[in-house]
A and B are shown apart, each in its own frame.
Chain A
Amino acid sequence: MSALTLYASDVVALARKDLRLELRARDTLPAMLLFVLSTLVVFHFALPTGTADDAAFGLLWIALVFTALLGLARAWAPEREGGALDGLVLAPCDRSAIWLGKTLAVLVFLTAAELVALPAFALFFAPVDLVAVAGVVLASIGICAVGSLLAAMAAASRGREVILPLLFLPLAIPLVVGGVGAGISPQGASYLTFLGLYDLVFAILAWATFEYVITE
């Protein structure tokens, strides 16, 4: 087996492990789904009548970011419980594969939440076009790529999950700009390009530096 195939199979095995764990425990994903729906309902009451659709779209992004944070906070919990992270670090697989597997798993959860959030948003507030959806897809990749690395950092700290939003929000700001812009601006395409650029830069950075976050 070539090195690339081995790498890919490691990543898939790790991601599947996370999906299997979630299917069994069923705690993170339902929480994310319920949270995003509740938040959207709260927004309805928080917005005065006559608010532009554009403003409501910004609120969608707030809901998505905080739903992602909810999922990310628990991302490394299975590895903490039995000391399994040490087990992964000891294994001969590439450490970046651990990051990639986790990122893919969290991306699946976030996508599931978005599959609920976007139709709900279209129902409660305003229709969502294809460019906006593309923006959500691209930004989600960035959220998960950066978020899973930051969550691993947070897991090493005394503050645990409390520190994760502090680390994540400044890095999420460009993603929010890109996502909202893709949804409401006439030049949506340039925002999509920007999101692609963010994803590329930060995914490569996370991929290259994850090793240093979980080893001594």
Chain B
Amino acid sequence: MSSRNSLPLLAFTTTAVLGLAVVLALLVAPEDVDQGVSQRIFYFHVPIALTAYLCFGLGAWKALRLLWVGDERRDLESYTWIHQGTIFGALTLITGSIWAKASWGVWWSWGSNQLVLFLVLFLFYCAYFMLRFSIEEGARRERICAVYALFGVALIPVSFFAIRLASDFIHPTVFNREGPQMTGTMFGAFLVCWAAVTLLAYVMYRVELVGKRTDVNLRELREALS
């Protein structure tokens, strides 16, 4: 089947692009005048963050399709996207923390709106897993998880505004550097990294989904035979 054959090719391509991205980010791109070597993590931090948003968005989209169309396959797809989103969300927090330490000398800064937003989302989606695993498998669980996924995606812009507002009175010192002014080479490197990370998320999604679907098929086979 073509989809199954395409997966190894996809994984190979992703590895290649990732390798290229690493080389570009670490070696080829010019060093930032102000921040130095530590700035290079920006090439991964921002794409990872963007990819996490994408994963949560896709998770919510699949959830919407589940509720609207009623296709139960969407449940596994939604869950897997959210799983990827959480992984990349955790990576965002880690890379962001490393960047903060390298740039400003602190592991955490409440002034970084992006980091705080991800912390809130991370908490939210961790609760998603707790919810999912505390409900018995079945149509009820699928629907409840789907509704929760929709709430998550609504939370993203709302939290963003809340945190923006909150910086008003909570932390007067603002570390608001979004990143360096990007020259042509830098921008090129950034795009390659972004493509690489997005591809990586997609490949991980496909792999995990195949694993989960196989589990389900195996279980059904066992029941059919018994």
Contact = CB atoms under 8 A, between A and B. Distances in A.
A171 B148 CA distance: 11
> B120, B121, B127, B154: which has the most chain A beta carbons within 10 Å?
B127
A29 to B, nearest CB: 27
Interface string B157-196: 0110111011011000000000000000000000000000
Given A181-B166, A187-B168, A158 B143 contact: no
B210 interface: no
Given A174-B158, A190-B165, A216-B139, A156 B144 contact: yes
B130 A153 contact: no
Contact of B162 (A158, A177, A216): A177
> B126, B138, B162, B163: which has the most chain A beta carbons within 10 Å?
B162
Interface in A161-213: 163, 166-167, 169-171, 173-174, 177-178, 180-181, 184-185, 187, 190-191, 194, 197-198, 201-202, 205, 209, 212-213
Nearest to B124: A170
A166 B130 contact: yes
B158 A197 contact: yes
B131 interface: yes
Size band of the B side of the interface? Answer: 20 to 34
A9 interface: no
A105 B160 CA distance: 30
Interface in B63-77: 67
A97 B89 CA distance: 36
B158 A153 contact: no
B168 A163 contact: no
In terms of DSSP, what is the predominant structure of the interface of chain B?
A: helix
Size band of the A side of the interface? Answer: 35 or more
B183 to A, nearest CB: 37
B165 A181 contact: yes
A61 to B, nearest CB: 12
22 contacts: A54-B169, A146-B151, A153-B144, A157-B134, A157-B135, A158-B136, A159-B130, A166-B127, A170-B127, A170-B155, A173-B162, A181-B166, A194-B162, A197-B158, A198-B162, A201-B158, A205-B151, A209-B147, A209-B150, A212-B144, A216-B139, A216-B143
Given A167-B148, A191-B165, 20 more contacts: A54-B169, A153-B148, A156-B144, A158-B134, A163-B127, A163-B131, A169-B123, A171-B155, A174-B158, A174-B161, A177-B163, A181-B169, A187-B168, A190-B165, A197-B158, A205-B150, A209-B67, A209-B150, A212-B67, A212-B147
Ordered nearest first, which 8 A-B pairs have the shortest CB separation? A174-B162, A170-B124, A157-B134, A177-B162, A212-B143, A166-B127, A209-B147, A159-B134
